Amino acid sequence: MTDFGGQNIAPKKIEITRFYRRVNKRATTQEDLKDEQMRFVAVKIILVATLLAACSGSNADSGALGDKSEESESGHSHSHEHAAGAAHSLNIPFDSELIDVKHSVQIIKGEVAGGVQRVRAELGEVVAFAVASDAAEILHLHGYDLVATIEPGISAVLVFEASIPGLFEIELENAGLLISKVEIR
């Protein structure tokens, strides 16, 4: 269960938005292309299985989000390894070894729990970005032009390959609220 300011809300559905690279500069043969396509199929299957387990009442530790460092916009380091049931942890476990960078954000009463964070990824890494909110919203990753719908109690997950270098904002479109920045190097 996810706790939004005293309300217990279990995610009923997870919306997954996928980004597939249209041109694979590393793939030089049909076999390379097929291997790359199979990697994304495997990511999709693992995410669906993981998300189904999360919705079935699993008590998986949602705080284990990976070991990539993140900094708040003030430049201070911030760990996202919170105890299960912490106010801004999500019930969306990421168990896949195919996901390189994992980050979760919770929006409570129009505020980003824990503040705006900068997430770093290297070119070619697969990034999973999960967002839960207590209000309906549209999640948008600028630069990649990925969007997902967030409903109260329904989390959204953006999964994409970091193929464009730069600093990209993730925001809630309707509120115009910056929730994170993704730096691709």
Find the CATH number of the domain harbouring 58.
2.60.40.420
CA gap 100, 122 in Å, rounded: 9
Whether pTM > 0.75 for this model: the answer is no
State the residue range of the domain holding 37.
2-184
Q: Tell me what pLDDT residue 46 has.
A: 57
Chunk the chain into consecutive blocks of 10 residues (it has 185) and report each block's average pLDDT, rounded to whole numbers.
Answer: 46 42 48 63 54 42 38 40 34 64 93 95 94 94 94 90 96 95 97
Q: Tell me what pLDDT residue 34 has.
A: 64
Complete DSSP assignment for the chain: -EEETTEEE-----EEEE---SS-SS--SHHHHHHHHHHHHHHHHHHHHHHHHHHTT----TT---S--EEETTS-B----PPTT-TT--S-----TT--EEEEEEEETTEETT--EEEEE-TT-EEEEEEEESS-EEEEETTTTEEEEEBTTB-EEEEEE--S-EEEEEEETTTTEEEEEEEE-
Q: Tell me what pLDDT residue 18 has.
A: 39
Q: What count of other Cβ atoms lies within 10 Å of the Cβ of residue 101? A: 22
Q: Tell me what pLDDT residue 83 has.
A: 30
Q: Tell me what pLDDT residue 77 has.
A: 38
> Looking at the 3D structure of the chain, how many domains does it have?
1
Q: Tell me what pLDDT residue 151 has.
A: 92
